[in-house]
Structure 1
Amino acid sequence: MYFGILIALVPLGLGYLIKIKNNSWMSKINLTLSWMIYLILFIMGVELAHLDNLVTNLQVILYYAIVLFICTFGGNFVVLMMLDFLSPSKTDNVNQTYTSHFKMILESLRVCIALIIGFICGLLPLFIWQYAENVTQIVLFFLLFLVGIQLRSNNISIKQILLNKVGMTTSILVVMSVLLGGMVASFILNLPIRVGLAMSSGFGWYSLSGILMTEAHGPVIGSATFLNDILRELCAIILIPILIKRHQLTTLGLCGATSMDFTLPMLQKGGGVAIVPAAIAQGFLLTLIMPIIITLFNYGGFWF
């Protein structure tokens, strides 16, 4: 239990103690993180290929992912739309020029290709696959360490994040509605509630949520969690141009943890610079708490 918690929190905390001001080094860290994401998804594909009763398990993975996505993303959508309806502030001055809309969708789909390539390679009888689990733990530790550095080096203090009321509000509502959706999904899927809660707590950070769940519950649960989060990102990208003019808070919340990085350019194009601070605040908070709450649900013995 405690080892599982420490392996997630210690590297993140250690990385957060380091602040890098050199732009060249930060570019290298960002590039390394990008390649590590593909490596992690490749390893997930390898582990998926080694499942017994593969065809049956693939059907289970798709079923879990679809049910979980409907419950969590749907819950987010309903709660955030209520917030938009009750919020008196509306912004009509928007700029909707999404020249890279489809390019971003293709970029998001690229991570699925890494998983598929890993799956195909995993079918080959190579001796190196026996070390896949050990490699995963090393890569996960290093990934969290670099993410901690990245968060600290963005020149955004915890105080600035906590003072952004919009980002805080959407983050709280996203977390509450996602966890409620995870509980509903756990009943539908006949899974322990703590597993449903953990599966739902990725907030769109598909690479880390998938590998954390694979480590704790195996490749079936891990792959379903990954698919749920990648579906969230894809749907957010598709819905941003449609919703941002009249439902900015809903659009922001649906982006989850990606509002700080991947979906930020689209949010800025549609909502203007005014939405950027809230988007960064939400993305930062969800990125920071995601590995913590997933690990607590996975290894905390007090959860039912």
Structure 2
Amino acid sequence: MQSLITLVLVLMPLFIGFVIPSNPKLTRFADKGLSYLVFIILTLIGIELSQVEGLRSQLGEIALYVTILSILTIGTGLLALMLFDHLRPWHAKKPSAKSQQHRVSIRGSLTQVICVVIGFVIGHFLPAAYLPHNTTMTVMLMLLILLVGIGLKGSGITLKEVMLNKRGVEMSIVFTIAVLVGGLVFAMLFIDVSWTKGLALASGFGWYSLSAIVMTDAYGAIWGSVALFNDLIREFFALIFIPVFMRQYPSSAVGLGGATSLDFTLPVIQQSGGLTVVPLAISFGFIINIVSPVLMVVFSALG
């Protein structure tokens, strides 16, 4: 019953966001609100992490989990899409000289890490009476999903357009299966990680703000931080290596960012692959943004 309630709490705001009539002002508000909300959520995660007893003694273990999980989830997805590119070649047009001048910036990712650190410091000194209520993260999750739904609706993308992009659909299926396999391998390597937990952790697909909340609610702040940093590492990796893979492996380059291919890493995808690759990135990113929260909630609810 609890798993059903959690799934409704995730899907209902997304549905409401799609149903609300869109207009440019509301879309801009959602986009701006989403950026601020992410900072708030990351700060709250830092506060929750500061309340974990014996955290220092577990830092090495957390680092090991994050390292192995990121290698497996990024690696399996990348290898599967490289194979897909080899079997089903598709070449993006060579970017213009102006596009080649694009510089990769990881400032945004660093800012997100800093928010967690700030939250951790605040939580360390904050009196217990002033700590966020237990339901705060659930409320933040629902608001996050609502704003995402409004943003997706306001972008002018329809489900018909997304599903008609055959390569985008195929890519999302290949990527999802491959990354979940990585999650299963992760579970096999650690006795204290069930197969459902491995799949749940892998299902973030780069959506760090969402995965951190869902994993924290399901497994505690330690695993929430593992999910957070695993997905942040994907973002770092994607920003750096999208231009490297774009020429020979365009599908792999698009898929590197996972859920962020629809927003955060889209400018890098466009700059390195040209305008022709943008519809593919939008189709892939849109599907992954829909699939990710459903899989995370379902797998975490199973145990």
Aligning the two structures, in what range does the TM-score lie when normalised by the shorter sequence?
over 0.9
Question: What does the per-residue CA deviation read over 1:43-78, in whole Å, with 9 as the maximum and x for residues that have no partner?
Answer: 000010110111122222211111111111111111
Mapped to 2, the partners of 1:216 and 1:203 lie a distance apart of 17
Q: How many residues align?
A: 299
- Structure 1 vs Structure 2: percent identity of aligned residues? 34
Q: Which amino acid aligns with 1:124?
A: F
Equivalent residue runs for 1:1-304 within 5 Å: 1-21=3-23, 23-91=24-92, 93-95=94-96, 97=99, 99=101, 101-102=103-104, 104-190=105-191, 191-300=193-302
Distance change in 2, residues 1:27/1:192 (3 Å): same
Q: Judge conservation of contact 2:167–2:280 (CA < 8 Å) in 1.
A: yes
Q: Judge conservation of contact 1:95–1:271 (CA < 8 Å) in 2.
A: no
Moved over 4 A (4+): none
Q: CA deviation at 1:128?
A: 4.7
Question: What does the per-residue CA deviation read over 1:97-125, in whole Å, with 9 as the maximum and x for residues that have no partner?
Answer: 355534x3111211000001000111004
Mapped to 2, the partners of 1:125 and 1:24 lie a distance apart of 37
Gapped runs of 5+ residues in structure 1? none
Distance change in 2, residues 1:49/1:261 (3 Å): same
Distance change in 2, residues 1:99/1:114 (3 Å): farther
Q: Which amino acid aligns with 1:256?
A: G
Mapped to 1, the partners of 2:47 and 2:229 lie a distance apart of 16
Please give the secondary structure, in 2, of the residue aligned with 1:133: coil
Q: Which amino acid aligns with 2:159?
A: I
Mapped to 1, the partners of 2:130 and 2:280 lie a distance apart of 43
Q: Judge conservation of contact 2:206–2:235 (CA < 8 Å) in 1.
A: yes
Q: Judge conservation of contact 2:92–2:276 (CA < 8 Å) in 1.
A: no
Q: Which amino acid aligns with 1:137?
A: T
Worse overlay, 225-234 or 89-98: 89-98
Distance change in 2, residues 1:120/1:99 (3 Å): farther
Q: CA deviation at 1:299?
A: 1.3
- Pairwise CA RMSD: 1.5
Mapped to 1, the partners of 2:162 and 2:145 lie a distance apart of 20
Q: Judge conservation of contact 1:204–1:232 (CA < 8 Å) in 2.
A: yes
Gapped runs of 5+ residues in structure 2? none
Q: Normalising by structure 2, report the TM-score.
A: 0.94
Mapped to 2, the partners of 1:213 and 1:93 lie a distance apart of 40
Q: Judge conservation of contact 2:93–2:276 (CA < 8 Å) in 1.
A: no
Q: Judge conservation of contact 1:101–1:237 (CA < 8 Å) in 2.
A: no
Q: CA deviation at 1:129?
A: 4.4
Q: CA deviation at 1:232?
A: 0.3
Q: Normalising by structure 1, report the TM-score.
A: 0.94
Q: Judge conservation of contact 2:93–2:274 (CA < 8 Å) in 1.
A: no
Worse overlay, 11-20 or 279-288: 11-20
Mapped to 2, the partners of 1:27 and 1:182 lie a distance apart of 36
Question: What does the per-residue CA deviation read over 1:253-280, in whole Å, with 9 as the maximum and x for residues that have no partner?
Answer: 1121111111111111111111010100
